[in-house]
Amino acid sequence: MVLKLIAQRVALGILLLLAVSVLIFVGTNLLPSDVAQSILGPSATPLALANLRREMGLNDPAYVRYLRWLFGILQGDLGTALTSGLDIAASIKERLWNTLSLAFWAAIIAVPLAIILGLSAVRHRDSLIDKLITGLALASTSVPEFFIGYLLVYFFAVKFHIFPGISMVYEGMPVLDKMKAIAMPCTTLTLGILAHMMRMTRAAILNVMQSAYVETAELKGLSAFAVIRKHAFPNAIAPIINVIMLNLAYLVVGVVVVEVIFVYPGMGQYLVDHVAKRDVPVVQAVGLIFAAVYISFNVVADVASILANPRLRHPR
């Protein structure tokens, strides 16, 4: 039964990714720009434009171009960047690693801290501590990431010169220098997801705390911390896992603004640079990778919830 449910979730994820690939291809082809004109420039002759369109297969029907693009991706060929002539897969490799590295360090900080703060808020429910944690979470959620990033740049880079304002990293960079370079973008991402995870953790545990078995545990004389640790938290783990996975997915696909602010050499910066250049193959490839990451995390969240909560294995 469990394997069947997992197989269904994986199959749905693959179908969803296929549907997203169609939307990405259609969306990029509806952009008000001529790829051939973008490559050759405004001074290109009609004959040169016609020859280039024929060489690139732009005269073929849309479904033929989509299938050619899809089969190339399935073979590991993401295409060639129009503006530089470089292989997209080779160009993306290091940038994808940089983005995943940044997301990893943000998650290492945000996930444990969100769970601890959520448990603390439940432990001290309706007290000053709970109100303080909840108030700070609401304030953090209300502030957009770009504003947090610029505040960090102003105070820690411009005013006090603690961290560099531009987060440049490179292969073979010393670990301490790299940690210093990614400190501010990592902090921005952490603050961006911390409040949401903490509030959802608190809500999930409070929902379980209203159950009859929790009241029974309290009547037996167990301490509030023991009730939360032994009864409430284990039964609230499924929705908490879902929230964590969705926020981890956001860390990877939502880094565009943060990477642009700190000029971080990741996927987001790469995407923005080539959107400005109307480089359609790069936009398609990066968009599909972001979609694949987001859908994969959602599938993992569903599978983890099924494994953590036996009730989900037997839907009524």
Residue 187 tokens, joined: 């902090």
Q: Is 58 domain-assigned?
A: no
Which residue type does 312 have?
L
The more confidently predicted of residues 57 and 185 is 185
Q: Does residue 143 register a pLDDT over 70?
A: yes
| Domain with 128 in it | 88-313
pLDDT bin (cut points 50, 70, 90) of residue 108 is: very high
Least confident of 8-22, 123-137, 201-215: 201-215
Torsion of CA 151, 153, 157, 160, to 10 degrees: 0
Q: Which long-range contacts (CB under 8 A, 24 or more apart) does 90-95 make?
A: 91/270, 92/267, 92/270, 92/285, 92/286, 92/289, 94/171, 94/265, 95/265, 95/266, 95/267, 95/269, 95/270
Residue 14 tokens, joined: 């693959």
Q: Is 19 domain-assigned?
A: no
CATH of the domain at 305: 1.10.3720.10
Q: Is 9 domain-assigned?
A: no
Q: How many domains does the chain have?
A: 1
Please give the average per-residue pLDDT across 173-202, as a whole number.
Answer: 89
* pLDDT tens-place string over residues 210-246: 777 777 877 777 777 777 777 777 777 778 888 888 8
Please give the average per-residue pLDDT across 50-65, as a whole number.
Answer: 80
Q: Is 26 domain-assigned?
A: no
Please give the average per-residue pLDDT across 119-148, as a whole number.
Answer: 86
The more confidently predicted of residues 250 and 155 is 155
* pLDDT tens-place string over residues 240-256: 888 888 888 888 887 88
| Cα gap 52→100, rounded to integer Å | 37
Please give the average per-residue pLDDT across 280-285, as a whole number.
Answer: 90
Q: Is 21 domain-assigned?
A: no
Please give the average per-residue pLDDT across 123-134, as a whole number.
Answer: 87
Q: Is 304 domain-assigned?
A: yes
Q: Is 229 domain-assigned?
A: yes
* pLDDT tens-place string over residues 74-102: 888 888 887 778 899 988 988 999 999 99
pLDDT bin (cut points 50, 70, 90) of residue 184 is: very high
- Residues shown for the chain: 316
pLDDT of residue 56: 72
pLDDT of residue 181: 92
pLDDT of residue 292: 93
Contact 184, 106 (CB under 8 A): no
pLDDT bin (cut points 50, 70, 90) of residue 145 is: confident
Please give the average per-residue pLDDT across 20-31, as a whole number.
Answer: 88
Q: Does residue 286 register a pLDDT over 80?
A: yes
Q: Does residue 185 register a pLDDT over 90?
A: yes
- What b/e string do you get for 239-257 counting C-beta neighbours within 10 Å, with b at 16 or more? bbbbbbbbbbbbbbbbbbb
Q: Is 191 domain-assigned?
A: yes
Report the candidate in 248, 272, 244, 240 with the shortest Cα–Cα distance to residue 258: 272
